[in-house]
Amino acid sequence: MICYMSFIILLTGTMELNNGMKTYFGIWIFVTVLFLSILIFLVRVFNVFSMLFWMAKILNEGLTLLSITVLRFYFHKFIPPLCIHDFLSYYNS
């Protein structure tokens, strides 16, 4: 049910920005819901409760890096650089 809802959002979830770029927010919602559905299925079927903390840690870090990457890709003018190399290349250009 959730996968079907996210697929509908994937088909209809486009938004026009001021500069004419299209961002497909439905793709990110679909991938996130699909990944969480697979994770919940694995936890329920294979009883991997001992690995739950490890999975939650990887999921948290992965989603954080994914959201930072998406935000930096679309709004790189408004977000300050995140490492020294980006800092130097950002302010020297």
Return the pLDDT at 10.
53
Q: What is the 3-state secondary structure (H, E, C) of 33-53?
A: HHHHHHHHHHHHHHCCHHHHH
pTM, rounded to two decimals = 0.32
Quick check: 85 pLDDT over 60? no
Burial of 6 from C-beta contacts in 10 A (0-12 / 13-18 / 19+): buried
Return the pLDDT at 31.
73
Return the pLDDT at 32.
75
Element (H, E) at 10: helix 2-12
Q: What is the mean pLDDT of residues 77-84?
A: 53
pLDDT, one tens digit per residue, over 64-79 is 666 666 666 666 555 5
pLDDT, one tens digit per residue, over 1-52 is 455 555 555 555 544 444 444 556 556 666 777 777 777 777 676 665 656 6
